[in-house]
Amino acid sequence: MTPITALADLKKGHEALTCDRITVGLATCGISAGADRTLAAFQAANLPLIIENVGCLGNCYAEPIVTVRQDGSTAIYGHVTEDKVQKILDAIKTKTICKELFLGRTLEEIDFYKIQKRLLLANCGKINPLDIDQYVATGGYDGLAKALRKKPQEIIEDVLASGLRGRGGAGFPTGQKWRLIAVKTGKKILVCNGDEGDPGAFMNRTVMESDPFKLIEGMTIAAYAIGSDEGIIYTRAEYPLAVKTLRSAITIAESHNLLGKNILGIEGFNFNLRIVMGAGAFVCGEETALMNSVMGLRGQPHYKPPYPADKGIYGYPTNINNVSTLSFVPLIMSMGAKEFAKIGSEKSKGTAVLCLTGKINRTGVIEVPMGTPLREIIFGIAGGPPQGTTFKAVQCGGPAGGCVSEKYLDLPVDYESLLSIGAMMGSGGLVVLNSDSCMVDVAKFFMSFTRSESCGKCTPCREGTTRIWEILDKITKGLGTPKDIETLKSLSQYVKENSLCGLGQAAPNPILTTLAQFADEYRVHIEQKECPSHSCRNLVHYRINEKCTGCGNCARHCPVHCIAGRLKEKHVIDQSVCVRCGACYENCAFDAIDKG
């Protein structure tokens, strides 16, 4: 076996990681905040430092993020848009810290990272995603080297012993899945499911963009373990940077004999990896639909059995794992199954990679040990809801998951606990809702997503999700009737029990959980025609109060001209014409408009 160290320039890698340099996070989240212009500004400054792009550190709330290492000490800066680059340049020149943008010396100093345990994300935002020397210098390909000294069966035993479970949502033990396919003979296909489509989930994208070799290494180990020579990364066309990064990484790995024929000199160990892009259907994350899509068919699911391990892509036994699942494999190999199993809760081992979005102070991608209570994540890492508002609920697991209210906040994040209250790990997206969020509207939002992503194959999902959405729409417009609650419950239950695939079976979860935990909000919408959080437009009323100075600004902004009044006298809104757009409310300088 060729040693990895002979393939990669370890010295160069170490140097790159420890030298004085400026790194700019250039994953999709960074770019959307302007990080590419930030990077260009640094490059234009002609500094004596190395300037390099890295992936995403995960603290999306502070993008663009710049790390400066100077004279051996680091400073992490956030919100470094192009116009602020000069401030950092000044600090570099004076060898000081730019306090305005400073986040911390190390990640551990920053609140966002304090209780995190970054295993899978360890390299993200720290290394150049496409520098294999840097990857190897961080311990990359150590896992593969160890794995290749074992028999495939031993690797599967290790993965079983590690307690690793599928991170795609269902939590099926990965080792068990591999064992089922390992016994098959003949051609087998290994698929990485990178079709991340949940609103509020982007951890797979982060890994693919920021640490692509980890995924490739994980897939190579998996291929060796199950005996596959063909790998497919199925991801979405909406992730152009992830696709580009992975493509380049695959080419680099091939040039180092880490993919292709006789990998690392091991006779007969061949593994070719390619990328297949989906056309952007959420349902293609479901494995049978994914396989259809890979084969160029309409991305629609099929009932199981046959399971992919028996009859998959082009009839070959196929093993499908999520990006995170596969990326954990090198870690398990290098740190040892026992060490991995020490992390996490009793039945859910290792760490959970989660995405935090919604009404919180700090959004981003995080990694915590399985079993960390939701409260610590939301109030600790994410810093709770914005000032002046209170926490209301968190939607766990995307549109297939459920809403968790304050009551259950001390619940540990793991597969069983979340399932016990009708929510699920799902993809690991946590959408936090606060007192400004209307739960009926939130349910409607998720339903509008699933209904437009329903493939149309089975009746309950195709017809049912639209009818559920219509009822919710009616309620948020003040047209609901008490009977609607019953219809919602029974129809949701019907769709859950009768749909063909996981999409339909899980689609009503947000409705069922919000109905169970926030029944009052539904009732107020229906009986009093009011939205307690003032977010359903049709149920909001704007009235001008005594503070009105008669400046006329509201009337000028009203698109339907329904505000009347003489100059310097109190104005009045004609409720029969008002379209409740809120323009008057937004533009009043005297707090003279009440919303309610």
Partner 1 sequence: MASPEHPQKVKITLNDEIVWCDPNAYIIDIARNNNIYIPHFCYHERLERTANCRLCVVEIEIGGKKRIMTSCNLKPQEGMIVNTHTPKVLEARRVNIELLLANHDLNCPTCAKNLHCKLQRYSGELIVKETPFTGKRRNVPVDESSPSIRRDNNKCILCGRCIKMCGDVQTVNAIQQQFRGFETLVSCAFNEGLGESSCVNCGQCVIACPTGALTERSDIPHVIDALNDPHKIVIAQTAPSIRATLGECFGMNPGTNVTGKMVAALKKLGFEKVFDTDLAADITIVEEASEFIKRLNANENLPMITTCCPAWIKFGEQFFYDELSHMSTCRSPQAIMASLIKTYYAEKADLDPQRIVLVDIMPCTAKKFEILRPEFAGEADYVLTTVELGKLIKEMNIDFEHLEPARFDNPLGESTGAGAIFGHTGGVMEAALRTVADWLENKNFKHIDYQAIRGMETLKEATVHIDGMEINLAVVHTLGEARKLMEQIRSGTCKYHFIEIMACYGGCIGGGGQPAPTERFDEVLKKRVQALITEDLHKEIRKSHKNPAVNKLYDEYLGDIGGERAHKLLHTSYQRREFK
Tell me whether the omega of the peptide bond preceding residue 64 falls within 30 degrees of 0, making it cis. yes
Are the CB atoms for 267 and 1 separated by under 8 Å?
no
Using CA atoms, how far apart are residues 492 and 352, in angstroms rounded to an integer? 29
The torsion angles phi and psi of 408, rounded to 5 degrees, stand at -105, 15
Nearer to partner 1 (CB atom), residue 167 or residue 451: 451
Of 378, 376, 360, 366, which Cα lies nearest the Cα of 107? 366
Least distance in angstroms from the C-beta of 272 to partner 1: 30
| Interface residue with partner 1, options 93, 151, 274, 298 (CB under 8 A) | 298
Among residues 280 and 383, whose Cβ is nearest to partner 1? 280
Minimum distance of partner 1 from residue 386's CB (angstroms): 34
290 scored as a contact of partner 1 (CB under 8 A): no
In the complex, the smallest distance separating the C-beta of residue 467 from partner 1, rounded to whole angstroms, is 5
Least distance from partner 1 to the Cβ atom of residue 288, Å? 12
Conformation bin of residue 422: beta by default, left when phi > 0, alpha when psi is -120 to 50: left
Residue 580 vs residues 464, 486, 566, 585, 595: alpha-carbon distances, Å: 30, 29, 22, 10, 10
**Residue range at the interface with partner 1 (CB under 8 A); choices 136-144, 396-404, 490-498, 512-520:** 490-498
What phi, psi does 271 have (nearest 5°)? -150, 115
Least Å from the CB of residue 81 to partner 1: 39
User: Left (φ > 0), alpha (ψ -120 to 50) or beta: where does 358 sit?
Assistant: left
Output 46 or 303, the one with its CB closest to partner 1.
Answer: 303
Question: Any contact of residue 481 with partner 1 (CB under 8 A)?
Answer: no
Quick one: which of 365, 491, 531, 548 contacts partner 1 (CB under 8 A)? 491
Mask for 248-287, x = binds partner 1 (CB under 8 A): ---------------------------------x------
Among left, alpha and beta (phi > 0; psi -120 to 50; other), residue 143 is alpha
Among 139, 494, 537, 565, binds partner 1 (CB under 8 A): 494
- Specify the DSSP class assigned to residue 438: -
Q: CB of 463: closest distance to partner 1 in angstroms? A: 4
Closer residue to partner 1, CB minimum distance, 453 or 521: 453
For residue 96, what are the contacts with CB-CB under 8 A and spacing of at least 6? none
Site residues for partner 1, 500-559, by CB under 8 A, read: 500
DSSP result, 179-246: HHHHT--S--EEEEEE---STT--HHHHHHHH-HHHHHHHHHHHHHHHT-SEEEEEEETT-HHHHHHH
Stretch that binds partner 1, among 18-26, 414-422, 492-500, 558-566 (CB under 8 A): 492-500
Strands 73-77 and 102-104: what pairing? antiparallel
Compute the least distance from the CB of residue 591 to partner 1, in Å. Answer: 40
Residue type at 57 in one-letter notation:
L
Residues binding partner 1: what is the number (CB under 8 A)?
30
Q: Mutual orientation of helices 152-162 and 174-182 as an angle, nearest 10°? A: 160
CB of 500 to partner 1, least distance (A): 6
Stretch that binds partner 1, among 174-182, 251-259, 363-371, 495-503 (CB under 8 A): 495-503
CA angle 21, 25, 27 (to 5 degrees): 145
Q: Which of 499, 509, 513, 514 binds partner 1 (CB under 8 A)?
A: 499
* Binding letters toward partner 1, positions 441-470, x by CB under 8 A: ----------xxxxxxxxxx-xxxxxx--x
Choice between 298 and 556, CB closer to partner 1: 298
Tokens of 203: 């951890």
Closer residue to partner 1 in complex, CB, 39/290: 290
Tell me the CB-side half-sphere exposure of residue 434, using CA atoms within 13 A. 17
The region of 130-138, 159-167, 486-494, 556-564 touching partner 1 under the rule CB under 8 A is: 486-494
Choose the stretch contacting partner 1; rule: CB under 8 A; options: 50-58, 295-303, 330-338, 341-349: 295-303
Q: At closest approach, how far in Å is the CB of 14 from partner 1?
A: 50
* N residues, the chain: 596
Q: Report strand pairing: 402-405 vs 391-396.
A: antiparallel
202 contacts: CB under 8 Å, gap ≥ 6:
28, 29, 196, 355, 365
Nearer to partner 1 (CB atom), residue 157 or residue 484 = 484
CB of 491 to partner 1, least distance (A): 7
Interface residues for partner 1 in 299-318 (CB under 8 A)? Answer: 300, 302-303
From the list 5, 73, 481, 487, which residue makes contact with partner 1 (rule: CB under 8 A)? 487
- CB of residue 447 vs partner 1: minimum separation in angstroms? 11
Q: Closer CB to partner 1, residue 306 or residue 386?
A: 306
Residue 498 binds to partner 1 (criterion: CB under 8 A)? yes
For residues 40 and 30, give the distance between their C-alpha atoms in angstroms, rounded to a whole number. 13
Minimal distance, residue 453 CB to partner 1, in Å: 7
Pairing of strands 73-77, 66-70: antiparallel
How would you classify residue 131: left for phi > 0, otherwise alpha for psi between -120 and 50, otherwise beta? beta
Least distance between partner 1 and beta carbon 564 (Å)? 37
Structure tokens at 86: 């000069």
The DSSP symbol for 361 reads S
Restricting to residues 216-255, name those near partner 1 by CB under 8 A.
none
**Contact residues: partner 1, CB under 8 A:** 281, 298, 300, 302-303, 451-460, 462-467, 470, 487, 490-491, 494, 497-500
